[in-house]
Structure 1
Amino acid sequence: MGQGLQLTVGLDEAAHHTAGHRVRFHRQSRRHRAANDGALRFEPEPYSKKLELNSSGKIHCKVAGGIAPTVQWFLNDSEPLPKGVTSANGTLMVTDAQRHHAGNYTCRATDGEVVITSNITLDVVIAPRVLEPLPDQQMHVTVGQSVSLNCVATGDPPPTTHWDRNLTILHQQQERVEIEGSANASISRLVLLNNGTLLIRNASEHDADRYGCTAGSAAGLARTELLLVVHPEGELPVPESTGVAGKAVLVSISLAGAYMILVLALMLYCRRRRLQRRQRGEKMELEMAEGREKLVEEGEEKQKVTKNGAPAQNGRLLPHDRDSGADNSEVSAVSRASKKSSGQYDQLTVPRTLLTEQITLGRGEFGDVMLAKIDMTQIMKLRSKDEDVEPQLKPVLVKALTTKDEVQLAEFRRQLELFSRVRHEHIARLIGLCNEADPHYMLLEHTDWGDLRSFLIATRTPEENEEYINRVGPLHGLPARENTIHPLAPRHRLALVAHLASAAARLAHKRLTHRDIAARNCVITSKLQLKLTFPALTRGPNSHEYYKHHDQVIPLRWLPYEAVIDGEYSTKSDVYMFAATIWEIYTKAEMPFAKLNDNSVLERLKSDTLEWNIPSCMPERLGNLLKRSWSKSPSDRPQFTEIYEEMTSIIQEISSESISQHSQDKIERDE
């Protein structure tokens, strides 16, 4: 869909236009950093961290400015580091976290007489473990009976628990669900007890479903599910009957025998297959298969020899219960049972050892956001494409999951779902998920030219930059540079708009919402191809573009009324943000309402007095489209299909005018 638009606007010319720009942009950036290091400072500021008992971890302390500064770590303000904690090149390293390692640590950077310090807190925790229900447990009840679903968990700090039904959290505000001790608890069918038990009185067939028990604390999250089966009256045997136990044992023995027969059959089949491969001379294929089996066996052995105590579980997407000591055999039983089920993200798994040249860009809603490189040929081999080609190092955006907040954890899963379900030339591709250790990493496709916002700022002329500073102040102006970079031509801007419209229309077609469409969350290639992505640097270089509202960090200036005030996100809120991003493209990344502070923007949004201006360089039809997209009522905003069709028409119209003008100029020259 977007490829045709690229041809229409002539992106071959765009690539020619930007070929020289690439060199000038990067050379200027290096020269500018070298000449303007400035005062000694932390960049970024070190963050406090929580480590799982018996796990390892690192805390980075990076400084900028000054001349050859030295960086050291201390316990408290100046005490030596405890045994098991070391410091090298500004990185604090813990090899085997123990209780006595917890405390306050200080990073001290020195440059001659200038000394700066930063204090962080290191906590050693035990991630939550759900003891009851057991993974994939089933409970059977007859219509009309009552049933108690127990949610029991351990951890340090002690976790809180809650129940969900088919991934929808059960809480007091929900219809027909009451909390123990409330006025209606004695007569309600569904009651959440204070000890974590969900009581269902007078069960009906409607109550049959999957129920999840989630335990959460500052140390992480754990979750197991059970299946509640409600039988028609008279079908379920009496639970106290001795015949039930005998039948259960008989069924278990039968299943075990069938499983053993299946294993033996598979062993014989595999042995015969190996013999056939050898006879056909497929020695190489056999060795590769055996190598993979050996890696699996070695991985299982590593899990068996885990020390007492639980490996790190910070930032896990799925609960992987592990043994947590000889004194907790119940947890060990849960661990062994959980290993039988494969994770829903296994098909995305990528070893983090493939990541190289990692650089921290800032911090997002889940944790650190980094830029790294990865060998795509290795990814192809993981996807069963064993082409023998040269290594291809490609940039990749790395989003670390270190948060413990349930809402943000759900958002991480939502973003994974978004990028895994949609494949489009103008949407960043999900490379994979590093989930073999903590924290988990989401890997998204990145580009050689980086984010669209920085690119747009770099294309400002000195005159545009001076005018921008005079109008809104120097805070976000472009630093002075020696070389002039050619500005974007009108057709290039339209191409970028068309790319974004194509990407957003694809998301809408899949009934997905982005919720943070902005120039900072788009990337640009050296061929002037835009791709929609999701770094969302809420802390770092783009932190001034976010606002904390009701304990949520939101892109206030890009959001419509219903998203900010009511928390309602939809395709129509994405339409509003799409229009704001197009406005950024035509204003060279000016921050919306730059003269207003955040509180003023919020008040004007509430009173419906926040007015967008249409840039003079924008085509009239595109300006009218943006005005409709900024309507306060979502129903008055156009659909993305209409936006894409309108963009196609605008590009065709401008292309026809350009051809007509070119022909007229040629006739005049011939005369």
Structure 2
Amino acid sequence: MCVLRSVLFLSLLLYGFHASAGHEGTKHHSAHRIRQPNSRRHRAANDGALHFEPEPYSKKLELNSSGKIHCKVAGGVAPSVEWFLNTSEPLPEGVSSANGTLLVGAAGKRHAGRYTCRASDGNTTITAEIHLDVVVSPKVIEPSPGSEVHVAETQAVMLNCRAVGDPPPTTHWDRNLTILHQQQDDVDVEGGVNASIARVILLHNGSLWLRAARRTDADRYGCTAGSAAGLARTELTLTVHPEGTVTENAGEAGGGAARAVLVAAGVAAAYMLLVLALMLYCRRRRRSRRQRGEKMELEMAEGREKLVEEGDEKRRPNGAPNGRAHTERDSGADTSEVSGVSRASRRGLEQLAAPRDLLTEQITLGRGEFGEVSLARIDVSALKRLRNPTVAAAAPRSRPVLVKALSTKDEGLCCEFRRQLEFFGRVRHEGVARLLALCSDADPHLMVLEHTDWGDLKSFLTATRSPEQAAQFAAGAGAASGPAPLSAQHCALLAAQLAAAVQAATEQRLTHRDIAARNCCVTSQLRLKLTHAALTRGPDTAHYYKLHHQVVPLRWMPAEALEGEYSAKSDAYSFAATVWEIYTKAELPFAKLSDSTVLERLKGGTLEWTVPDSMPEPLANLLNRCWSVSPTARPHFDDICAEVNAVLQQATAAADGANAT
């Protein structure tokens, strides 16, 4: 418990275009010819110039430790990356550079200073500066951990707090995790106005002086040392005995030896009890973890069986009393998702295991909630032979993939990583990116998802705003030409494809939780696929907001999702926001409002969406229902798909009529 309280206290301190083939209005999309993508196809959609992605950042290294500082660039033509000390000086001994990464072997004081990363493609040169600090973490040398101080009432006692580190740490005392300061009663600092009458004095050298101990002073006292290199803390226990039983120097007082023996025996007994308690606690915790893992698997299997039985009852004409089967289906939240993976799913994931050397041309896009997110290519022929050795050897055939790395040990994020594996592994639909492979032979584990030749939908929509942006998009995607401006039929088609994809997920009792244009990709045949890049730190950083120690897509989520209540109805809200993006060509929702204002209005139920004039009225009415404050008022995806398909049929008929005239 002492360890847990210390951690708590430190945390307080640190504060395809198949649907409409044959129509004149859409046939130009299927006529685009796509070149084989090369290393330049992953440039930003609006900027092919040489740039850092992301820009390198300053770092602190512990003395004698090793470290790396990455300098990654995008754009340009075959750029070279070099590191220098200061502006152009050679790197000091013990520091080297490889593939744009600054490597420090055993950090010493001589290695601290300013370093410059220089990238050049022959035509353009860019630089970025960082500062490397070499520090020594604070260490408390007095009091020693677990110290005990005994004093008699009315006696004075000095509690020393000394620490070392670089930069030199500052120290302070706390009592039972409450910081001692001069505004408290009977407490002042050395040389303070009330120092002469205060009973507890905080000395400048870090010591704590109690002029006359009282029985109420008995407690746990902590010495904390802090600097830019970190924090350290140790505790001691002060025991105040009745007056006359303990002298200032127990070793020299009469009967002091006997008391010392008793105290030592008591301390030894307490230490043995503490060790025994810790052993029992650790053993029980390990057993609980094993049981929890088995329980999650059992709950997943039993939960699905129960949901199937309930679903069968609701489908029967007499399965729901008073004919309210449809209402009950719509009103409930998605409770079938469990943060573990079932045995059946685990066996399926084992079949997806693949070596990471199948991935080539890997380029980092940014960082997600688990780790780095990148684009790569995978040899589909080799992957098929790996799955089925009897398949005849074929010529290599590569295709683009999205790679998400799991670089964290956080239990919550690991559960979310497994949840996404479950989502893309179970939902088999042409509008949902397939889980192609799982590279788990070493850390970090890699989730490999299907990707498309034209990349994410957000960049595609931005490119349709003007001919110049379309040309830039085509250059980045390696296409012969960029996308033409979207017609009403094209927009309705994308909305219908997205609705069908999310409906396939809801039929599996799964939720996506981050539906947005940035998390969809599109082919050159205008075929949309739902994926989950979630670049929380990268090009889409501004689209996410940190709430309750989690990063959430604030402008795309309903109020109940702020508290973790995800369901098919919360996905309906996000679906409507994504359709709004399609018709506004990827504008930022509520662009004129700050994140805090959006959060306040969302919680208060006063956040109002405005549909663009180009949106058909039936679709606008549908979206407004999807944005209802109450989840039960939002339509089910069966109804959403039917209404969006009706809008698509009307748009197709209008386009056919215009072409006929």
| Smaller-chain TM-score bracket | 0.5 to 0.7
**How big is the shift at 1:546?**
0.8
Q: Which residue of 1 aligns with 2:281?
A: 197
- Secondary structure at the aligned position of 1:412 is classed as helix
Matches within 5 A, 1:20-59: 20=32, 37=49, 42-46=52-56
The CA RMSD measured in Å over matched residues stands at 4.9
Q: Which residue of 2 aligns with 1:117?
A: 129
Q: Which residue of 2 aligns with 1:357?
A: 361
Q: Structure 1: which amino acid aligns with 2:82? A: V
Question: Over residues 176-206 of structure 1, what are the superposed CA-to-partner deviations in whole Å (9 max), with x where a residue is unaligned?
Answer: xxxxxxxxxxxxxxxxx76673899xxxxxx
Q: 1:395 to 1:548 in 2, by over 3 A?
A: same
Quote the Cα distance in structure 2 between the aligned partners of 1:122 and 1:409: 32
The counterpart of 1:595, out of the listed 592, 596, 605, is 592
**How big is the shift at 1:357?**
0.6
- Secondary structure at the aligned position of 2:363 is classed as strand
Aligned residues of 2:30 and 2:525 also touching (Cα < 8 A): yes
Quote the Cα distance in structure 1 between the aligned partners of 2:60 and 2:639: 48
**How big is the shift at 1:387?**
2.8
Q: Which deviates the most, 402-411 or 109-118?
A: 109-118
Aligned residues of 1:557 and 1:593 also touching (Cα < 8 A): yes
- Secondary structure at the aligned position of 2:351 is classed as helix
**How big is the shift at 1:82?**
7.1
Q: Which residue of 2 aligns with 1:90?
A: 100
Aligned residues of 1:451 and 1:521 also touching (Cα < 8 A): yes
Q: Which residue of 1 aligns with 2:246?
A: none
Aligned residues of 2:85 and 2:115 also touching (Cα < 8 A): yes
Matches within 5 A, 1:145-294: 197=281, 211-213=288-290
The counterpart of 2:408, out of the listed 392, 399, 403, is 403
Q: Which residue of 2 aligns with 1:246?
A: none
Q: Which residue of 1 aligns with 2:548?
A: 550
Q: Structure 2: which amino acid aligns with 1:633? A: S
Q: Structure 1: which amino acid aligns with 2:546? A: K
Q: 1:559 to 1:485 in 2, by over 3 A?
A: same
Matches within 5 A, 1:521-536: 521-536=519-534
Query: Number of residues paired by the alignment?
Result: 442
Q: Which residue of 2 aligns with 1:511?
A: 509
Question: Over residues 389-413 of structure 1, what are the superposed CA-to-partner deviations in whole Å (9 max), with x where a residue is unaligned?
Answer: 2211101111111122221111111
Q: Structure 2: which amino acid aligns with 1:611? A: E
Quote the Cα distance in structure 1 between the aligned partners of 2:386 and 2:44: 41
**How big is the shift at 1:541?**
0.8
Aligned residues of 1:359 and 1:372 also touching (Cα < 8 A): yes
The counterpart of 1:559, out of the listed 557, 564, 585, is 557
Q: 1:104 to 1:402 in 2, by over 3 A?
A: farther
Q: 1:66 to 1:26 in 2, by over 3 A?
A: closer
Aligned residues of 1:496 and 1:530 also touching (Cα < 8 A): yes
Quote the Cα distance in structure 1 between the aligned partners of 2:38 and 2:618: 36
Q: Which deviates the most, 358-367 or 651-660?
A: 651-660
Aligned residues of 1:521 and 1:533 also touching (Cα < 8 A): yes
**How big is the shift at 1:19?**
3.7
Q: Structure 2: which amino acid aligns with 1:428? A: A
Q: Which residue of 1 aligns with 2:11?
A: none
- Secondary structure at the aligned position of 2:436 is classed as strand
Quote the Cα distance in structure 2 between the aligned partners of 1:596 and 1:427: 32
Q: Which residue of 2 aligns with 1:652?
A: 649
Quote the Cα distance in structure 1 between the aligned partners of 2:551 and 2:592: 21
Quote the Cα distance in structure 1 between the aligned partners of 2:59 and 2:593: 35
Q: 1:500 to 1:10 in 2, by over 3 A?
A: farther
The counterpart of 1:499, out of the listed 497, 500, 509, is 497
**How big is the shift at 1:532?**
0.2
Q: Structure 1: which amino acid aligns with 2:289? A: G
Q: Structure 2: which amino acid aligns with 1:383? A: R
- Secondary structure at the aligned position of 2:26 is classed as helix
The counterpart of 2:72, out of the listed 62, 85, 93, is 62
- Where structure 2 has 5 or more consecutive residues not aligned to the other structure, the ranges are 1-15, 136-276, 297-338, 341-345, 471-475
Q: Which deviates the most, 650-659 or 532-541?
A: 650-659
- Secondary structure at the aligned position of 1:197 is classed as helix
The counterpart of 1:417, out of the listed 403, 406, 422, is 422
Quote the Cα distance in structure 2 between the aligned partners of 1:562 and 1:225: 30
Q: 1:352 to 1:106 in 2, by over 3 A?
A: farther
Quote the Cα distance in structure 1 between the aligned partners of 2:392 and 2:486: 39
- Secondary structure at the aligned position of 2:374 is classed as strand
TM-score by length of 1: 0.56
Aligned residues of 1:557 and 1:592 also touching (Cα < 8 A): yes
- Where structure 1 has 5 or more consecutive residues not aligned to the other structure, the ranges are 124-192, 201-208, 215-222, 228-316, 319-341, 466-477, 666-671
Q: 1:388 to 1:623 in 2, by over 3 A?
A: same
Aligned residues of 2:438 and 2:445 also touching (Cα < 8 A): yes
Quote the Cα distance in structure 2 between the aligned partners of 1:512 and 1:32: 32
Quote the Cα distance in structure 2 between the aligned partners of 1:389 and 1:10: 33
Quote the Cα distance in structure 1 between the aligned partners of 2:453 and 2:58: 32
- Secondary structure at the aligned position of 1:398 is classed as strand
Q: 1:505 to 1:35 in 2, by over 3 A?
A: closer
Q: Which residue of 2 aligns with 1:71?
A: 82
- Secondary structure at the aligned position of 2:650 is classed as helix
Q: Which residue of 2 aligns with 1:609?
A: 606
Quote the Cα distance in structure 1 between the aligned partners of 2:517 and 2:587: 10
Quote the Cα distance in structure 1 between the aligned partners of 2:618 and 2:129: 55
Quote the Cα distance in structure 2 between the aligned partners of 1:32 and 1:351: 29
Residue identity over aligned pairs, in percent, reads 49
Q: Which residue of 1 aligns with 2:177?
A: none
Q: Structure 1: which amino acid aligns with 2:511? A: T
Aligned residues of 2:84 and 2:90 also touching (Cα < 8 A): no
Q: Structure 2: which amino acid aligns with 1:636? A: A
Q: Which residue of 2 aligns with 1:377?
A: 381
Q: 1:9 to 1:569 in 2, by over 3 A?
A: farther
**How big is the shift at 1:6?**
3.9
TM-score by length of 2: 0.57
- Secondary structure at the aligned position of 1:541 is classed as coil
Aligned residues of 1:63 and 1:109 also touching (Cα < 8 A): no
Q: Structure 2: which amino acid aligns with 1:507? A: A
The counterpart of 2:620, out of the listed 620, 623, 628, is 623
**How big is the shift at 1:13?**
5.8
Aligned residues of 1:459 and 1:487 also touching (Cα < 8 A): yes
**How big is the shift at 1:610?**
1.1
**How big is the shift at 1:652?**
2.7
Aligned residues of 1:14 and 1:528 also touching (Cα < 8 A): no
Q: Which residue of 1 aligns with 2:450?
A: 445
Quote the Cα distance in structure 1 between the aligned partners of 2:134 and 2:448: 27
Quote the Cα distance in structure 2 between the aligned partners of 1:620 and 1:344: 44
Aligned residues of 1:66 and 1:111 also touching (Cα < 8 A): no
Aligned residues of 2:108 and 2:134 also touching (Cα < 8 A): no
Q: 1:628 to 1:93 in 2, by over 3 A?
A: same
**How big is the shift at 1:614?**
1.1
Quote the Cα distance in structure 2 between the aligned partners of 1:17 and 1:578: 24
Quote the Cα distance in structure 1 between the aligned partners of 2:45 and 2:638: 44
**How big is the shift at 1:492?**
1.2
Question: Over residues 561-581 of structure 1, what are the superposed CA-to-partner deviations in whole Å (9 max), with x where a residue is unaligned?
Answer: 1112x2211111000000000
Quote the Cα distance in structure 2 between the aligned partners of 1:57 and 1:355: 26
Aligned residues of 1:373 and 1:393 also touching (Cα < 8 A): yes
Q: 1:11 to 1:99 in 2, by over 3 A?
A: farther
**How big is the shift at 1:649?**
2.3
Aligned residues of 2:58 and 2:130 also touching (Cα < 8 A): no
